């Protein structure tokens, strides 16, 4: 990969200056964030609907999408877009049914909801769960994948890889210490750069494919060439493997198990991520209901665009690689000379003209920094409000809590840097996007079960919730790790398939579905032994879930677009 030229460096520096300058402006304009915890952690009442939507996407789209999902595009194809398109439907569900419950009950953190609905035991267990998950899986993987991508793009060495890790962390700290207001409004710039730079990269990728097949500079011709030369990469639903299936087809099914994915894990992934996740929900928790709903649905519209930005370059890299191009780029950083799918995005960036490389680097950096900042803020919010204030210093002042929040941000990023330095968690070998989805999936089924039953079934007890958290995790471990060897590869509940290592594995979406169903059953049976209406049950009324005509129109348009996409690429 060639080094960046002067114009690329200038574009990147200009991006940095604009984001930093705007962040400082917002911070000074809203300076009470220095002493007010709700302002620091939630930007209460000050984020507009478009800032909420942009911040949701900027925080969501990061290295795991640009690098990991592009890598899945290289190996799997358009089926991986299900994560984005089903997310748009999940955001509708969250906007209509979840957010009204949070806002009505003045919920600021997810552990606070669990304490309000259940008890402090559930809240503390989940606060610890989330802190470990956010630091050891999310924050670390975002930092690692981002550093790998930028290092590949700039043709750097191991030393430069370590330098990039530090610089990304410093940039994230700079934004995060200003609180959620600074994060929210700078995210508008970040997501604008992300989309413009991402679309430019996709356009160039398609024109390169078009040229490779002799069709000239036509992005449309390039897209048609992708469909013609990689037809297996343009199917949303994978068939169940049989005795004649190749290992590649089995691997695809293990990642996204056809229709069973839509009956099981993909809904659990998305509803948990978008509706029960401090990292995401806190963007909307400081707004009124109409503003929050518009912001969330606006994020849903943007999600429909994301596969174009993060997945198509991966498919383009696959087609070019099959044609004999990108051979060296796709084995960069490989220890055994094998293709590394996560190299796909940075390999495509090598075709960009100078100047545009700087813009795409800025887009990638924007995505990484926004996600790091958002995740660090969530870690800070949960630790400060749900651990420090409750169990360490109950008399802490507002100002002290803000400073504890800032110290927590720095501490979390230092731990993340240490884990990233030599890829201590093996993120590179697992595949970035799959790594995050898989290990988040150990917690998701139990979390979603206790939230859904807590929302909508008044009989659910605190004891059932505690059990649900533990049982959901243990069942996830059982199905993901032990079930095939204990019960055999083919049972009434599941079919396991041999992975690349020759071991039987159940598709992790199915593991999540099974863990969720059995967790709900256990919680229901336990709650039936309690009172018919739990004293801590939430008070709901139908008026909470009514939507305005404008919100309804946004929902209908989103569903129509998704329907058309599935009809075309089924």
| Structure confidence at residue 184 (pLDDT) | 61
pLDDT in tens, 328-356: 778 776 667 787 787 888 888 878 887 77
| Structure confidence at residue 33 (pLDDT) | 43
Q: Report if residue 550 sits inside a domain.
A: no
Q: Report if residue 350 sits inside a domain.
A: yes
| Structure confidence at residue 177 (pLDDT) | 63
Q: Are residue 408 and residue 473 in the same domain, yes or no? A: no
* The total number of structural domains that make up the chain: 2
The residue among 387, 413, 431 that closes a domain is 431
Q: Are residue 99 and residue 208 in the same domain, yes or no? A: yes
Q: Report if residue 206 sits inside a domain.
A: yes
Q: Are residue 368 and residue 496 in the same domain, yes or no? A: no
- C-alpha span between 194 and 122 (Å, rounded): 38
pLDDT category of residue 256 using cuts at 50, 70 and 90: confident
Q: Are residue 402 and residue 477 in the same domain, yes or no? A: no
pLDDT(287) > 90? no
Q: Looking at residues 70-91, what average pLDDT do you find? A: 90
Report field, pTM of the whole predicted structure over 0.95: no
pLDDT in tens, 384-394: 888 888 888 88
| Structure confidence at residue 77 (pLDDT) | 87
- Helices 110-117 and 444-456: crossing angle in degrees, nearest 10, is 50
pLDDT in tens, 446-465: 999 999 999 999 999 999 99
Q: Report if residue 545 sits inside a domain.
A: no
- Which residue shows structure tokens 């610890």? 128
229 CB neighbour count, 10 Å cutoff: 17
Q: Which one, of 389, 344, 350, lies nearest residue 145 by Cα?
A: 344
Cross-strand partners of 505: 497
Q: Report if residue 561 sits inside a domain.
A: no
Q: ∠ at Cα 343 (338, 347), nearest 5°? A: 115
pLDDT in tens, 531-544: 888 888 888 888 88
275 CB neighbour count, 10 Å cutoff: 26
Q: Report if residue 1 sits inside a domain.
A: no
pLDDT(44) > 60? no
- Of residues 128 and 429, more confidence is placed in 128
- C-alpha span between 546 and 454 (Å, rounded): 20
pLDDT category of residue 546 using cuts at 50, 70 and 90: very high
Q: Which one, of 471, 481, 454, lies nearest residue 515 by Cα?
A: 471
Q: Looking at residues 5-20, what average pLDDT do you find? A: 78
Q: Are residue 372 and residue 457 in the same domain, yes or no? A: no
- Which residue shows structure tokens 């490389």? 357
- Of residues 479 and 7, more confidence is placed in 479
- C-alpha span between 529 and 438 (Å, rounded): 34
pLDDT(164) > 80? yes
User: Residue 16, SS3?
Assistant: helix
- Of residues 64 and 554, more confidence is placed in 554
pLDDT category of residue 147 using cuts at 50, 70 and 90: confident
pLDDT(405) > 90? no
Domain that holds residue 484: 441-539
- C-alpha span between 189 and 369 (Å, rounded): 12
173, 413 Cβ separation under 8 angstroms: yes
Q: Report if residue 559 sits inside a domain.
A: no
Question: Across 253-257, 358-362, 548-552, which has the greatest mean pLDDT?
Answer: 548-552
pLDDT category of residue 294 using cuts at 50, 70 and 90: very high
pLDDT(275) > 50? yes
Q: Are residue 391 and residue 456 in the same domain, yes or no? A: no
| Structure confidence at residue 558 (pLDDT) | 95
| Structure confidence at residue 38 (pLDDT) | 54
The residue among 368, 399, 431 that closes a domain is 431
381, 282 Cβ separation under 8 angstroms: yes
Q: Are residue 425 and residue 493 in the same domain, yes or no? A: no
Strand extents, DSSP E, 375-476: none
Q: Are residue 383 and residue 500 in the same domain, yes or no? A: no
The residue among 401, 431, 461 that closes a domain is 431
Q: Are residue 337 and residue 458 in the same domain, yes or no? A: no
| Structure confidence at residue 182 (pLDDT) | 62
Q: Looking at residues 174-197, what average pLDDT do you find? A: 69
Rg, Å, the chain Cα set: 23
| Structure confidence at residue 99 (pLDDT) | 92
pLDDT(59) > 80? no
- C-alpha span between 570 and 237 (Å, rounded): 6
Those residues whose C-beta lies under 8 Å from the C-beta of residue 274, and which sit 6 or more positions away, are 87, 90, 91, 94, 280, 281, 296
Torsion, Cα 237 87 198 344, to 10 degrees, reads: -40
Q: Are residue 203 and residue 250 in the same domain, yes or no? A: yes
Cross-strand partners of 504: 498
Q: Report if residue 494 sits inside a domain.
A: yes
| Structure confidence at residue 433 (pLDDT) | 60
Average pLDDT, rounded, for the chain: 83
pLDDT category of residue 43 using cuts at 50, 70 and 90: very low
| Structure confidence at residue 133 (pLDDT) | 85
pLDDT(82) > 70? yes
CATH of the domain at 272: 1.20.1730.10
- C-alpha span between 531 and 458 (Å, rounded): 9
pLDDT category of residue 149 using cuts at 50, 70 and 90: confident
| Structure confidence at residue 209 (pLDDT) | 92
pLDDT in tens, 470-523: 999 999 999 988 999 999 999 999 999 998 888 899 998 999 999 999 999 999
Lowest mean pLDDT segment, chosen from 273-282, 294-303, 453-462: 273-282
- For 115-137, the DSSP string reads HHHT-HHHHHHHHHHHHHHIIII
Q: Are residue 396 and residue 456 in the same domain, yes or no? A: no
Cross-strand partners of 497: 505
Q: Are residue 503 and residue 400 in the same domain, yes or no? A: no
């Amino acid at each position: 990969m060639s080094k960046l030229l002067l114009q690329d460096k200038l574009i990147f520096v200009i991006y940095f200056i604009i984001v930093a300058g705007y962040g400082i402006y917002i911070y000074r304009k809203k300076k009470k964030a220095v002493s007010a915890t709700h302002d620091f952690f939630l930007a209460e009442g000050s984020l507009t609907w478009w800032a909420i939507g942009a911040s949701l996407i900027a925080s969501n789209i990061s290295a795991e999408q640009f690098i990991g999902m592009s890598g899945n595009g290289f190996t799997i194809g358009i089926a991986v877009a299900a994560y984005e398109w089903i997310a748009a439907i999940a955001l509708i569900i969250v906007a209509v049914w979840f957010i009204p419950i949070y806002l009505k009950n003045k919920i600021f953190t997810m552990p606070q909801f669990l304490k309000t609905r259940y008890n402090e035991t559930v809240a503390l267990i989940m606060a610890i769960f989330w802190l470990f998950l956010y630091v050891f899986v999310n924050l670390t993987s975002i930092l690692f994948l981002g550093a790998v991508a930028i290092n590949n793009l700039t043709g750097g060495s191991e030393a430069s890889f370590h330098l990039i890790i530090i610089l990304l962390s410093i940039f994230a700290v700079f934004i995060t210490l200003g609180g959620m207001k600074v994060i929210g409004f700078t995210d508008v710039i970040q997501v604008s750069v992300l989309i413009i730079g991402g679309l430019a990269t996709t356009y160039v990728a398609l024109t390169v494919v078009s040229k490779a097949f002799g069709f000239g500079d036509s992005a449309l011709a390039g897209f048609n060439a992708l469909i013609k030369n990689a037809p297996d990469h343009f199917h949303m639903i994978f068939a169940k493997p049989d005795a004649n299936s190749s290992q590649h087809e089995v691997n695809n099914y293990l990642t996204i198990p056809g229709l069973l994915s839509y009956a099981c894990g993909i809904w659990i992934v998305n509803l948990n991520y978008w509706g029960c996740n401090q990292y995401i929900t806190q963007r909307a928790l400081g707004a009124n209901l109409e503003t929050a709903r518009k912001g969330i649905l606006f994020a849903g519209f943007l999600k429909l665009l994301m596969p174009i930005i993060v997945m198509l370059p991966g498919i383009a890299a696959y087609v070019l690689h099959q044609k004999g191009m990108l051979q060296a780029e796709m084995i960069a950083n490989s220890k055994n000379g094998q293709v590394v799918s996560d190299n796909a995005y940075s390999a495509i960036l090598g075709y960009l003209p100078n100047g545009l490389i700087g813009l795409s680097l800025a887009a990638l950096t924007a995505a990484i920094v926004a996600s790091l900042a958002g995740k660090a803020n969530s870690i800070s919010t949960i630790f400060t409000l749900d651990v420090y204030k409750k169990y360490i210093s109950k008399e802490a002042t507002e100002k002290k809590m803000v400073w504890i929040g800032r110290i927590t941000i720095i501490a979390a990023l230092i731990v993340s840097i240490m884990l990233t330095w030599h890829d201590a968690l093996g993120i590179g070998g697992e595949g970035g996007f799959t790594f995050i989805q898989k290990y988040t999936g150990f917690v998701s089924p139990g979390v979603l079960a206790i939230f859904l039953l807590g929302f909508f079934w008044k009989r659910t007890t605190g004891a059932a919730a505690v059990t649900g958290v533990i049982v959901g995790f243990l069942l996830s471990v059982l199905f993901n790790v032990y079930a095939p060897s204990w019960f055999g590869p083919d049972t009434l509940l599941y079919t396991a398939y041999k992975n690349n290592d020759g071991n039987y594995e159940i598709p992790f979406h199915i593991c999540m579905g099974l863990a969720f169903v059995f967790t709900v059953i256990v919680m229901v049976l336990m709650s039936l032994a309690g009172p018919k209406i739990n004293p801590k049950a939430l008070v709901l009324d139908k008026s909470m879930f009514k939507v305005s005509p404008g919100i309804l129109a946004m929902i209908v348009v989103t569903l129509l677009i998704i329907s058309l996409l599935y009809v075309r690429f089924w």
